[in-house]
Amino acid sequence: MAPTRSRRRLCAAALAGTCALGVASGSSHAVGDDVDDKIKNSKSEIDDISKSLADADATLTKTNKAVAAADKKAKDAKSALTKAQQKQRDAASDYDVAKADEDASRTALATNRADQAKARTEVGGLARNAFETGGLGDLTFTIEVLTSNSGVSGSMALADIVMRRQQGVITNLKSSAAAGQSEATRLAEIRRRASLAKTKQDAAVTAASTAKTDADTAEASLVALQKTQKDDKKKLEAEKKKEEAKLAALQAESTRLKNVTTTSKDVDTSVHDVPQGTGFLASPGPISSIVSGYGYRFHPVLKINKLHEGDDFPFACGTPVYAAGDGTVIEANYNDVSGNHVYISHGTVNGAQLTSAYMHFTSLSVSVGQKVKKGQQIGVSGMTGRVTGCHLHFETRENGVAVNPLKWIK
């Protein structure tokens, strides 16, 4: 195919790729044609994790913390409810005891009052008068009432009996009165304690009711969060599967690239022996501008180490890209992973077949089999393939295996 026709076809593919795939993935740097999916926004060391996967993982992490907090809150609420219910039972028991004491005191006071009434009745009007005046009263009248036709000695004996009887009744009446006063005082205190116990019981009932509401609310919140947690786990697993499928595609592209660089019929046959570190290849851009370099990355969600096989340069879309060295184009094509890309074979250098790779062009300026010179434009940068922002992904391979570009560029 002529270069002009090839360029037209690749430009059309680039436009289609940009529309269909430019924002389709937020990931890319696995074992293979890895690209920095966060160049547009950051220089993160973990530049290969898709946004949807990162969001799903962050959401689940947040939900897990919320579930843990809700679980603790529910347990605390249940514990508070248990304590409140125990206090309610204790308060009810204290109130029952106080009421029983009050009832007993009332009964004792009623009995005392009955005893006092009986004592007053027994002494009669005379005994009552004697009690009130503190003396015997009208003894002659009393004796005459109690007996008649008796001698003086008999009358005196009878008077002594009446005196003792009257004094005993008076003593009992005084004792009953004192006991009654004491019981009345005790009843007042018991009633005060009963009232306090009732207040505490009412407060305990209210506290237990509040604790029950809090426990029910906390449990309902926990159940709801556990459901959310379950849904978030499903979403994360789905995103993990997508990420794993993407990594498999990247691995397949890396393997394909390795085969292309070693089996293409257009592999450059030139041989070079150069001192190490002399910059056999030209860097596509300032080395200091590299935003994601060659090396392994730990995937924070999948918990695996993945190799970012090249360097990412922050080229704006439409920036000219030039060949890093003399060589032969062995591939100039488009796929869903690398987007528009160019692979250049530089021949055998220091015993290894050296290839440079350039990915995510908007359009290409070369075709397969074409000889190129160092510094010759081979296309313009873009964001085709698995990317989220404009940049150039650059690789160097020895015998098909990706190596650190810094070994070859200057």
The pLDDT, as a whole number, for residue 245 is 85
Quote the CA–CA distance of 259 and 152 in Å, as a whole number.
154
- Do the Cβ atoms of 358 and 284 come closer than 8 Å? yes
- Do the Cβ atoms of 372 and 3 come closer than 8 Å? no
Surface-to-core class of residue 381, CB atoms within 10 Å of its CB (0-12 exposed, 13-18 middle, 19+ buried)? buried
pLDDT by residue for the chain (410 residues), tens only, comes to: 334 333 333 333 333 333 333 323 333 333 233 333 333 333 333 345 677 888 898 999 999 999 999 999 999 989 999 998 998 899 899 889 988 988 998 898 898 888 888 877 775 655 445 545 555 445 454 545 455 555 545 556 665 666 676 677 778 778 878 888 888 898 899 888 889 988 988 998 999 899 999 999 999 999 999 999 999 999 999 998 988 888 888 888 888 888 888 889 999 999 999 987 788 999 999 999 999 999 998 877 788 888 899 999 999 999 999 999 999 999 999 998 899 999 999 999 999 999 999 999 999 999 999 999 999 999 999 999 888 789 999 999 999 999 999 999 98
Both tokens of 218, joined, read: 């906390």
Phi-psi region of 128 (alpha: psi -120 to 50; beta: other; left: phi over 0): alpha
DSSP-assigned beta bridge partners for residue 321: 379
- Output the pTM of the full model: 0.54
CA angle 80, 82, 85 (to 5 degrees): 105
